[in-house]
């Protein structure tokens, strides 16, 4: 067993200096209930980028071997008061091989197995974690295939669980050509849930159509508003999950829901009483959300965050979700990556400028030992 | 009994022509379960103005005796497709004397009594309504005092019921110097609920302080952001009711809640897990709602509409609310009016330009028979 390992951290100082670095740290022996995972693959999700870089200036940053120093904009500092001076390990999720285990039977049984986990700090050569936090990968599933078993799959399944729990029958999804969007399409197709896929480019629309998506609306098209209205009216979607956050898009979607709800019904000065439900789960666009409120007074817009939502959905739903992810990891929940990089290469200027643009289809996978 | 009566209606044509008129219509005999109310007083609430005028151009309108013809902006017409050609009676609530009644005992018992009702069409000399929709006013309460017994009192009480039902302990209210805002202050003072009153002018702040409000924040002050933060941090308010709707105010309030929630707690990249709850119940500013989303991912912003909220609160809460309104009509729920007008005068240019400005302290009361 190695005595030390290497992991990636992000540290913000009070003067706005953001330092990303690979640090050599002690690798403690596992306690009775823990295992040591040799991390083989960990994806860079948008939620990781928030911790790693946030709104820092990566273009003007200083890059050296295994280290980046960037400046955080002054206006953003208020939101980060809580993390000043803290050295935060990065990497929400990842998969690897269990190379050591504590004495508990639950830990011992994992020795030599390939597992995946969602515990943070996975941009590391090794990670000591609780045995109960490991999901064992089937024999035929590689670490690459199992590395992203939590954030995107549980988010996509969480949308569907919320749809049912809140009594909706069809949904709208934005930034819909993403890995997550493709998973959501496959889930909804299998479950018979009408899904309106909103994308921002013609090639993204083509991609979704090529995998069988029926309702695809391109916000860059001149006919966007009419296309959106037609898709929402036809599906009866009353719920939207928005990865973008900024700008008028979510409000436009809810306005289209209102038009659909009012079609053929009696006039009410307060708008329709049909629910119109928008969730913002990402912030691909960090600019303000603009709501025109042309959708009456019966509507809700909320933030959507995986952990508290899963808590709210309850034990039965959580078990259902985990079982489905395990069973469909290489089909429904397959991810695609633009590039695979080492820990060192993940901190290179070329890689950062590419994956931190948060463009659909530009997801990276880190191979900490490869 | 008269065979006809006079009421105020609003009609929108497909070409955007909005006509407000006093119409002479048949006064039907009451059915067994109905009564005939000679309406003595009916308030002009913001919710009435939405039906009467909406965003129509009242400055450039044609005014004649008992009639106004105004133009609706083309951009607003989409929201009004459902009301084209419909002649809609106006006046959500009002009080008056029961001058005729059907044969049912529940109707007969109201004969000669002064009642108040929230059934629409109250800008009328007479209104035929179901006996069960009448709230009998105590002997010593005038129609003027009892005319606004529903919309504002139930809205203010509804805020407090929602606060308790959703587990919050303190709240923020905007446009807080309004009749409704003063009622809410009196309720919260009596019930020991910390209330942050946000107003838009120094004289409104002075008014609220003069009736004993402890937390008053003036958005026109240079120190607004700091004052708001201090009041929210001190009260621990996590819920806001916003009458304004447009602009950044509600987002600023929720940002201040986030700062208060993060104070002294561990840093989380996803923001605090403390709930931040905004309700938009009015639209004094019809421009878009601007949410900066500097408050993490655990937040909700919703429309708030009295009728569905009361349905959701349940029977016990509704009975509690009605009983309190009846008991405190001339104290907690007292309203103040800038002017009293006849039906005819309510359609004069001078009156319309004044009350349709929706300024705090400029509420009118219509006396249809006075």
Determine which of A266, A297, A311 to mutate to test the interface with B (most B C-beta atoms within 10 Å). A297
Q: Is B340 helix (H, G, I), strand (E, B) or coil?
A: strand
Give CA–CA dist A297/B38, Å, rounded.
Answer: 32
Q: Could you tell me which residues are beta bridge partners of residue B289? A: A291, B247
Q: Do B300 and A303 touch (CB under 8 A)?
A: yes
Residue of B nearest to A53 (CA): B269
Q: Do B50 and A269 touch (CB under 8 A)?
A: yes
Give CA–CA dist B124/B7, Å, rounded.
Answer: 4
Nearest to B206 by CA among B176, B183, B184, B249: B176
Residue intervals of chain A classified under CATH 3.40.50.720 are 151-311
Question: How confident is the prediction for chain B on average, in pLDDT?
Answer: 95
Comparing CB atoms, the residue among A291, A296, A300 nearest residue B300 is: A300
Bridging pattern class, strands A245-247 and A285-291: parallel
Q: How confident is residue B209, by pLDDT bands cut at 50, 70 and 90?
A: very high
Q: Is the distance from CB of A199 to CB of A224 less than 8 angstroms?
A: no
Comparing CB atoms, the residue among A81, A288, A298 nearest residue B292 is: A288
Instruction: State which of A360-364, B35-39, B136-140 shows the largest mean pLDDT.
Output: B35-39
Q: Is B202 helix (H, G, I), strand (E, B) or coil?
A: helix
Q: Is the distance from CB of B123 to CB of B366 less than 8 angstroms?
A: yes
Q: Do A83 and B288 touch (CB under 8 A)?
A: no
Residue intervals of chain A classified under CATH 3.90.180.10 are 4-148+335-366
What angle do helix axes B306-313 and B151-165 make, rounded to 10 degrees?
A: 50
CATH classification of B151-311, choosing from 3.30.470.20, 3.40.30.10, 3.40.50.300, 3.40.50.720? 3.40.50.720
pLDDT above 90 for B369:
yes
For A221-363, where are the alpha helices, taking DSSP H only?
224-235, 249-262, 306-313, 315-327, 343-346, 349-355
Give CA–CA dist B94/B50, Å, rounded.
Answer: 17
Enter the tokens of residue B183: 């009622």
Residue of B nearest to A305 (CA): B297
Determine which of B48, B52, B72, B82 to mutate to test the interface with A (most A C-beta atoms within 10 Å). B82
pLDDT above 80 for B265:
no
Q: Which pLDDT score is estimated for B328?
A: 95
Q: Is the distance from CB of A274 to CB of B303 less than 8 angstroms?
A: no
Bridging pattern class, strands A126-130 and A34-43: antiparallel
Q: Which pLDDT score is estimated for B36?
A: 98
Tens of pLDDT along B281-310?
998 898 999 999 999 999 999 999 999 999
Q: Which are the contacts of A70, defined by CB distance < 8 A and separation ≥ 6?
A: A17, A18, A20, A53, A56, A57, A58, A60, A61, A62
Comparing CB atoms, the residue among A50, A265, A303 nearest residue B269 is: A50
Bridging pattern class, strands B277-280 and B300-303: parallel
Any long-range contacts for A55-61 (C-beta under 8 Å, 24+ apart)? Answer: A55/A286, A56/A18, A58/A352, A58/A353, A58/A356, A59/A353, A61/A349, A61/A352
Nearest to B43 by CA among B283, B344, B363: B363
With residue B365 as reference, give the H or E element that holds it: strand B364-366
Task: Say yes or no: B270 contacts chain A, CB-CB below 8 A.
Answer: yes
Residue of B nearest to A283 (CA): B293
Nearest to A89 by CA among A60, A39, A124, A41: A124
Q: How many CB atoms lie within 10 A of CB A199?
A: 26
pLDDT above 80 for B232:
yes
Q: Which of residues 59-98 of B touch A (CB under 8 A)?
A: 78-79, 81-83, 86, 88
Q: Any idea which architecture A4-148+335-366 has in CATH?
A: Alpha-Beta Complex (3.90)
Q: Do A305 and B293 touch (CB under 8 A)?
A: no
Contacts with B274 from chain A: Cβ below 8 Å: none
Q: Do A288 and B283 touch (CB under 8 A)?
A: no
Q: How many CB atoms lie within 10 A of CB B184?
A: 27
The pTM (predicted TM-score) of the whole model is 0.90
Q: Which pLDDT score is estimated for B86?
A: 94
Contacts with B280 from chain A: Cβ below 8 Å: 293, 297
Distances (CA, A) of A83 to A11, A145, B273, B298: 8, 33, 16, 19
Task: Say yes or no: A30 contacts chain B, CB-CB below 8 A.
Answer: no
With residue A145 as reference, give the H or E element that holds it: helix A143-146
Enter the tokens of residue B44: 């002009």
Distances (CA, A) of B131 to B109, B138, B310: 9, 16, 20
Q: Which pLDDT score is estimated for B270?
A: 81
Q: Which are the contacts of B332, defined by CB distance < 8 A and separation ≥ 6?
A: B153, B183, B186, B187, B190, B324
ipTM score? 0.88
Task: Say yes or no: A118 contacts chain B, CB-CB below 8 A.
Answer: no
Give CA–CA dist B77/B14, Å, rounded.
Answer: 8
Q: Which pLDDT score is estimated for B62?
A: 98
Q: Which pLDDT score is estimated for A359?
A: 82
Q: What is the CA radius of gyration of chain B?
A: 22
Q: Do B303 and A294 touch (CB under 8 A)?
A: no
For residues B171 and B267, which has the higher predicted lDDT (pLDDT)?
Answer: B171
Give CA–CA dist A199/A360, Å, rounded.
Answer: 10
What angle do helix axes A151-165 and A179-191 make, rounded to 10 degrees?
A: 40
Contacts with A296 from chain B: Cβ below 8 Å: 303, 305
DSSP code for B27? -
Q: Which pLDDT score is estimated for A370?
A: 84
Comparing CB atoms, the residue among A86, A267, A296 nearest residue B83 is: A267
Per-residue pLDDT of chain A (370 residues; tens, 9 = 90+): 889 999 999 999 999 999 999 999 999 999 999 999 999 999 999 889 989 999 999 999 999 999 999 999 998 887 788 899 999 999 999 999 999 999 999 999 999 999 999 999 999 999 999 999 999 999 999 999 999 999 999 999 999 999 999 999 999 999 999 999 999 999 999 999 999 999 999 999 999 999 999 999 999 999 999 999 999 999 999 999 999 999 999 999 999 999 999 887 777 878 888 999 999 999 889 899 999 999 999 999 999 999 999 999 999 999 999 999 999 999 999 999 999 999 999 999 999 999 998 888 889 999 999 8
Q: Do B293 and A288 touch (CB under 8 A)?
A: yes
Enter the tokens of residue B333: 């729920």
Question: How confident is the prediction for chain A on average, in pLDDT?
Answer: 95
Q: What is the arithmetic mean of pLDDT over B335-358?
A: 95
Q: Which pLDDT score is estimated for B251?
A: 97
Enter the tokens of residue B123: 């800008």
Strands across the sheet containing B57-64: B57-64, B67-71, B17-26, B4-12, B87-89
Q: Do B297 and A289 touch (CB under 8 A)?
A: no
CA atoms within 13 A on the CB side of A131: 21
Q: In angstroms, what separates the C-alpha of A142 from chain B's closest C-alpha?
A: 30
Distances (CA, A) of B348 to A203, B50, B119, B342: 59, 18, 25, 10
CB pairs below 8 Å between A and B: how many? 116
Comparing CB atoms, the residue among A82, A286, A290 nearest residue B290 is: A290
Distances (CA, A) of A203 to A51, A110, A245: 30, 43, 22
Query: How far is residue A161 CA from its own chain's centroid?
Result: 16
Any long-range contacts for B343-346 (C-beta under 8 Å, 24+ apart)? Answer: B343/B6, B343/B8, B343/B22, B343/B66, B343/B123, B343/B124, B343/B125, B343/B368, B344/B22, B344/B65, B344/B66, B346/B8, B346/B44, B346/B123
Given the structure tokens 């597992």, which residue do they identify? A115
CA atoms within 13 A on the CB side of A107: 19
Q: In angstroms, what separates the C-alpha of A305 from chain B's closest C-alpha?
A: 6
Contacts with A288 from chain B: Cβ below 8 Å: 248, 251, 290-293
Q: Which pLDDT score is estimated for A291?
A: 98
Comparing CB atoms, the residue among B86, B290, B308 nearest residue A267 is: B86
Tens of pLDDT along A266-304?
778 788 889 999 999 998 898 999 999 999 999 999 999
Q: How confident is residue B264, by pLDDT bands cut at 50, 70 and 90?
A: confident
Nearest to B98 by CA among B141, B132, B139, B127: B127
Q: Do B82 and A267 touch (CB under 8 A)?
A: yes
Contacts with B270 from chain A: Cβ below 8 Å: 47, 50, 305
Give CA–CA dist B283/A271, Å, rounded.
Answer: 13
Q: Do B299 and A303 touch (CB under 8 A)?
A: yes
Q: Which pLDDT score is estimated for B263?
A: 84
Determine which of A51, A82, A292, A294 to mutate to test the interface with B (most B C-beta atoms within 10 Å). A82
Q: Which of residues 273-312 of B touch A (CB under 8 A)?
A: 273, 280-281, 283, 286, 288-305, 308
Q: Which pLDDT score is estimated for A78?
A: 79
Tens of pLDDT along B79-128?
788 899 999 999 999 999 999 999 999 999 999 999 999 999 999 999 99
Enter the tokens of residue B241: 């009711």
Is the Cα dihedral B279, B283, B285, B286 positive or negative?
positive
Comparing CB atoms, the residue among B297, B305, B308 nearest residue A304 is: B297
Q: Could you tell me which residues are beta bridge partners of residue A68? A: A20, A63
Q: Do A269 and B294 touch (CB under 8 A)?
A: no
Residue of A nearest to B297 (CA): A303
Q: Which pLDDT score is estimated for A113?
A: 97
Rounded to the nearest 5 percent, the helix, strand and coil shares of chain A are 35, 30, 40
């Amino acid at each position: 067993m190695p005595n030390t390992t290497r992991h990636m951290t992000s540290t913000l100082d009070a003067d706005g200096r953001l330092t990303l670095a690979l640090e050599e740290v002690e690798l403690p022996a596992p306690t009775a209930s823990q295992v040591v995972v040799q991390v083989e693959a960990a994806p860079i999700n948008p939620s990781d980028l928030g911790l790693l870089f946030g709104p820092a200036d990566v273009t003007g940053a200083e890059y050296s071997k295994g280290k980046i120093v960037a400046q955080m904009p002054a206006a953003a500092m208020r939101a980060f008061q809580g993390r000043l001076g803290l050295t935060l390990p990065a990497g929400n999720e990842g998969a690897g091989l269990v190379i050591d285990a504590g004495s508990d039977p639950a830990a011992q049984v994992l020795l030599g197995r390939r597992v995946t986990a969602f515990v943070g700090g996975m941009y590391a050569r090794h990670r000591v974690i609780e045995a109960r936090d490991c999901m064992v990968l089937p024999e035929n599933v590689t670490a690459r295939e199992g590395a992203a078993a939590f954030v995107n799959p549980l988010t996509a399944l969480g949308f569907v669980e919320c749809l049912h729990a809140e009594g909706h029958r069809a949904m709208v999804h934005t930034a819909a050509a993403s890995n997550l969007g493709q998973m959501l399409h496959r889930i909804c197709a299998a479950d018979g849930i009408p899904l309106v896929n909103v994308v921002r480019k013609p090639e993204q629309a083509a991609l979704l159509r090529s995998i069988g998506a029926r309702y695809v609306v391109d916000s860059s098209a001149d006919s966007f508003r009419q296309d959106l209205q037609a898709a929402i009216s036809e599906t009866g979607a009353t719920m939207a999950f928005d990865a973008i956050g900024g700008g008028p898009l979510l409000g436009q979607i809810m306005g289209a829901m209102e038009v659909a709800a009012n079609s053929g019904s009696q006039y009410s000065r307060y708008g329709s009483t049909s629910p119109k439900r928008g969730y913002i789960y990402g912030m691909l666009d960090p600019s303000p959300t603009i709501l025109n409120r042309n959708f009456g007074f019966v509507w809700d817009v909320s933030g959507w965050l995986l952990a508290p939502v899963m808590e709210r959905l309850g034990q039965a739903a959580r078990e259902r979700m985990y079982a489905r992810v395990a069973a469909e990891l290489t089909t429904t929940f397959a991810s695609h990556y633009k590039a695979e990089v080492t820990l060192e290469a993940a901190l290179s200027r070329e890689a950062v400028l590419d994956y931190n643009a948060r463009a659909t289809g530009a997801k990276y996978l880190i191979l900490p030992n490869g």
